């Protein structure tokens, strides 16, 4: 380059230029010069011909002597130099002085053409996988195409200039907002190592997962329906699924939220039974409702008998594993392998393991093998691969046949079905499958179901099969959840200490006018089912805790929502010595005849302040409030997220496992995804005070 060329170079000319006077007029002139430079650059972009054939898109009309087309960089370099130096300088002067928005109000928004932007957006959408959707659709471009009114247009222009525009806050980007480069916007920063896309495409809300549809438990008048009957539930699949949805930024659908499974996910320190003959005893408390100062909560808790540490009951386990093509995802078959590896590591010489696969490659992968041959078992697991169609063979029949071959008398005989929702196990009809599982249950072989992944999860079938198989249903969302279910709670997962456990409570109309059971909608039983031993119910494993909570309305509290009958009894009968009467039925694992436990609910268990009850009671109430608010309950949704969090913190306790601390974080996440729409009528102090 010659001396004259160097002298004429725009960079040198700008280098020799004197710094602008820091006066207000000089500042405005500098900013105006920067905007003028930007408009010059923009005009060159706008006037470029559109739709050139591919061979001409990156070439200019200037050709070298050898006939090769080259890019003409003369004008862009000079223009870019002005943009790089003048605009940031003007902006810096502006932002470091007291220049007001009114000083630059005369500047007009920069005009740009829309077709290039629409083309860019269309090309980007075409490259987006069909399974994803845009999290928030971009606002429509304004008719005049002003930069201040369109984030997408502004981003596209910045990309064409080689930099990124930092978007102003949403509330500033209105029709009357100042244009780019004014006091209400931010500057260009040059250049980014790699241009960022003008649209952020987020994964779509998972679809394809199915759940049992149910209506929320309704409020009942004691005068009309004094008796409530239901089956206990120790499943935890709902909480694991809800947690994953929230952590991934989604609000779960209401039917996915089963409040009793949220409450029962956490262990509680209820007194354990003294012997296996009577494997549990109830613990009860009545305390003020956190979301309604005029009602009370009746909490019933039981904890399963815990066998002595030295007792090693033999187990015969058959892993029935889905290897269909849909299992080919990191959170499905690979996670499943690691999860079963954890379980195998807990087994001893008294245990045997078999492996059957179905769908992708149906058949017996591992004959009954002593659990001490861990390398052989883990090797068989490691060789599993997802693929093929969903044309299953008789997987379920193979699994039960192996369970029969390795049956252990007086021990645990269980099939563990692991799937992402493909239940094509060889019996196509759901009713026939349930009948088959019931028959095997009666012969002594139970069934548990582990769900993996999303998009294909059939929660309704998973729950039905586990209930009919006298087992439990769990959702393994992570390796940590696998550790909880298959290591920390292995005894409760595998070792059943009581089956067909039913709860029935009769409320005294002289004390309680109304009640509703929180959760257990899919576990409701008829009143006559309680004494019918042929009716199946839930099962409890060793050390498992089960909690049930009723919201009750005391007589005369003023919280009644059901009008008394015009022609009903003039007054309720009965004394105030009892609030309710609790009855529980259960069968021992090897028996078909139920046993009965009865206990009065008396004023002795009533607390006047929620701060007086134990940590477990307050925490369970917080989880109940969380579940109601998350699913949009008609009863408990008024309590604010911050009040729920405060109540949960007050009941956190020692929390050795960290699950309660994790729940508190989950409440915070839910508050962001589903914020309160109205001010809450109550306040909860750190000690857990109720609404006033």
Q: How would residue 616 be classed by pLDDT, with cut points 50, 70 and 90?
A: very high
pLDDT for residue 6: 52
| Residues 250, 251, 255, 259, CA torsion sign | positive
Mean pLDDT score across all residues of the chain: 77
The pLDDT assigned to 23 comes to 61
Task: Return the percent helix, strand and coil in the chain, to nearest 5.
Answer: 35, 20, 45
Q: What counts of helices (H) and strands (E) characterise the chain?
A: 18, 18
What gap in Å lies between CA 59 and CA 542, rounded to an integer?
Answer: 76
Question: For residue 584, what pLDDT is reported?
Answer: 97
Length of the chain: 692
Number of domains in the chain: 3
pLDDT tens digit string along 510-534?
A: 999 999 999 999 999 999 999 999 9
Give the Å distances, CA to CA, from 439 to 60, 101, 303, 435, 443: 80, 80, 29, 6, 6
Confidence of residue 600 (pLDDT cuts 50, 70, 90): very high
Look at residue 650 and give its three-state secondary structure.
helix
Band of residue 206 on the pLDDT scale cut at 50, 70, 90:
low
Do 620 and 479 sit in the same domain of this protein?
Answer: no
User: How much is the pLDDT for 492?
Assistant: 80
Q: Does residue 51 surpass a pLDDT of 60?
A: no
Q: What torsion do the CA atoms of 175, 178, 181, 187 make, to the nearest 10 degrees?
A: -70
Task: Say which residues have a Cβ less than 8 Å from residue 481's Cβ, sequence separation at least 6.
Answer: 240, 474, 475
Q: Of 171, 189, 207, which residue is a domain's last?
A: 189
Q: Are residues 457 and 328 in the same domain?
A: yes
Is 209 inside a domain boundary?
no
Instruction: Tell the residue number behind the tokens 């109205």, with chain if given.
Output: 678
Strand intervals (E) in 542-657: 545-554, 580-587, 595-601
CB 291 within 8 A of CB 691: yes
Domain boundary among 459, 493, 527: 493
Same domain, 284 and 328: no
Do 354 and 293 reside in the same domain of the chain?
Answer: no
Q: Is 580 exposed, middle or buried (0-12, 13-18, 19+ CB in 10 A)?
A: buried
The pLDDT of residue 158 is above 70: no
246 and 172 part of one domain: no
Give the dihedral sign, CA 327/332/338/342: negative
Whether residue 448 sits in one domain with residue 357 = yes
569: in domain: no
Q: Which residues contact 93 (CB under 8 A, 6 or more apart)?
A: 20, 22, 26, 27, 30, 31
Find tokens 């690691």 and name the residue. Answer: 338
Indicate whether 563 belongs to any domain.
Answer: no
Would you say 217 and 229 are in contact if contact means Cβ atoms under 8 Å apart? no
Task: Answer yes or no: do 509 and 368 share one domain.
Answer: no
C-alpha distance across the termini of the chain, in Å: 83
Same domain, 616 and 666: yes
Residues 482 and 509 in one domain: no
Question: Reduced to 3 states, what is the DSSP secondary structure of residue 3?
Answer: helix
Average pLDDT over residues 298-302: 97
Greater confidence (143 vs 284) lies with: 284
Average pLDDT of span 73-88: 46
Same domain, 509 and 635: yes
Question: In which element (H, E) is residue 345 found?
Answer: helix 333-346
Query: Poorest-confidence range of 125-134, 224-233, 352-361, 420-429?
Result: 125-134
User: What DSSP letter does each residue of 419-457 carry, written as one string?
Assistant: ESS---SS--SHHHHHHHHHHHHHTT-EEEEEEE-SSS-
Please indicate, yes or no, if residue 511 is contained in any of the structural domains. Answer: yes
Judged by DSSP in three states, 554 sits in: strand
- What secondary structure letter does DSSP report for 49? P
Structural domain that includes position 502: 220-307+497-557+575-673
Residues 176 and 141 in one domain: yes
Q: Are residues 300 and 352 in the same domain?
A: no
């Amino acid at each position: 380059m010659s001396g004259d060329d160097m002298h004429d170079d725009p960079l040198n000319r700008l280098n020799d230029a004197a710094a602008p006077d820091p006066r207000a007029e000089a500042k405005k002139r500098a900013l105006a010069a920067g905007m003028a430079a930007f408009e010059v650059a923009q005009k060159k972009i706008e006037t470029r011909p559109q739709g050139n054939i591919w061979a001409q898109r990156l070439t200019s009309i200037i050709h070298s002597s050898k006939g090769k087309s080259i890019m003409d960089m003369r004008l862009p370099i000079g223009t870019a130099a002005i943009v790089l130096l003048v605009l940031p300088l003007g902006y810096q002067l502006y932002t470091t002085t007291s220049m007001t928005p009114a000083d630059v109000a005369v500047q007009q928004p920069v005009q740009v053409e829309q077709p290039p932007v629409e083309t860019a957006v269309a090309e980007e959408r075409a490259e987006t996988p069909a399974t994803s959707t845009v999290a928030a659709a971009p606002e429509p471009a304004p008719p005049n195409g002003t930069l201040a009114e369109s984030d997408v247009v502004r981003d596209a222009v910045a990309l064409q200039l080689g930099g990124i525009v930092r978007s102003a806050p949403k509330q500033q980007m209105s029709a009357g907002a100042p244009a780019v480069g004014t006091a209400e916007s931010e500057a260009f920063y040059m250049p980014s190592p790699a241009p960022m896309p003008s649209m952020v495409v987020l994964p779509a809300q998972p679809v394809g997962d199915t759940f049992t549809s149910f209506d929320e438990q309704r409020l009942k008048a004691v005068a009309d329906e004094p008796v409530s009957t239901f089956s206990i539930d120790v499943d935890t699949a709902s909480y694991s699924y809800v947690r994953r949805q929230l952590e991934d930024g989604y609000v779960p659908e209401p039917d996915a939220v089963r409040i009793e499974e949220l409450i029962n996910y956490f262990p509680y320190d209820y007194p354990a039974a003294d012997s296996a003959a009577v494997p549990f005893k109830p613990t009860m408390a009545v305390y003020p409702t956190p979301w309604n100062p005029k009602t009370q909560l009746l909490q019933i808790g039981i904890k399963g008998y815990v066998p002595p540490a030295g007792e090693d009951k033999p187990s015969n386990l058959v892993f029935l594993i889905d290897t269909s093509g849909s299992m080919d995802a990191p959170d499905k078959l690979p996670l499943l392998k690691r999860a079963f590896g954890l379980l195998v590591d807990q087994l001893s010489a008294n245990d045997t393991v078999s492996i059957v696969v179905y769908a992708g490659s149906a058949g017996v992968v591992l004959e009954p093998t002593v659990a001490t041959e861990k390398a052989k078992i883990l090797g068989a697991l490691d060789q599993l691969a997802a693929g093929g169609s969903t044309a299953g063979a008789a997987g379920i029949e193979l699994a039960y046949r192996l369970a029969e071959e390795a049956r252990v008398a007086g021990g645990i005989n269980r099939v563990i079905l692991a799937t992402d929702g493909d239940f094509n196990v060889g019996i196509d009809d759901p009713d026939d499958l349930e009948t088959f599982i019931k028959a095997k249950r009666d012969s002594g072989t139970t069934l548990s179901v582990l769900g993996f992944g999303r998009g294909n999860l059939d929660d309704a079938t998973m729950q039905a099969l586990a209930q009919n198989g006298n087992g439990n249903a769990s959702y393994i969302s992570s390796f940590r959840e696998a550790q909880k279910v298959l290591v920390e709670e292995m005894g409760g997962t595998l070792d059943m200490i009581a089956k067909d456990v039913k709860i029935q409570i009769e409320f005294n109309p002289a004390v309680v006018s109304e009640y509703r059971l929180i959760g257990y909608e899919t576990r409701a039983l008829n009143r006559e089912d309680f004494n019918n031993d042929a009716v199946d119910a839930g099962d409890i494993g060793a050390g498992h805790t089960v909690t049930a909570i009723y919201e009750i309305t005391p007589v005369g509290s003023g919280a009644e929502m059901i009008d008394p009958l015009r022609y009903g009894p003039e007054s309720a009968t009965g004394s105030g010595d009892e609030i309710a009467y609790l009855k529980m039925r259960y069968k021992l694992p090897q028996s078909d005849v139920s046993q009965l436990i009865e206990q009065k609910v008396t004023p002795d268990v009533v607390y006047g302040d929620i701060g007086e009850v134990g940590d477990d009671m307050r925490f369970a109430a917080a989880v109940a409030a969380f579940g109601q608010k998350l699913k949009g309950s008609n009863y408990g949704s008024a309590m604010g997220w911050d009040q729920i969090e405060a109540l949960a913190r007050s009941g956190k306790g020692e929390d050795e496992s960290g699950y309660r601390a994790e729940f508190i974080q989950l409440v915070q996440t839910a508050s962001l995804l589903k914020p309160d729409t109205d001010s809450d009528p109550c306040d909860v102090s750190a000690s857990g005070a109720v609404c006033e």
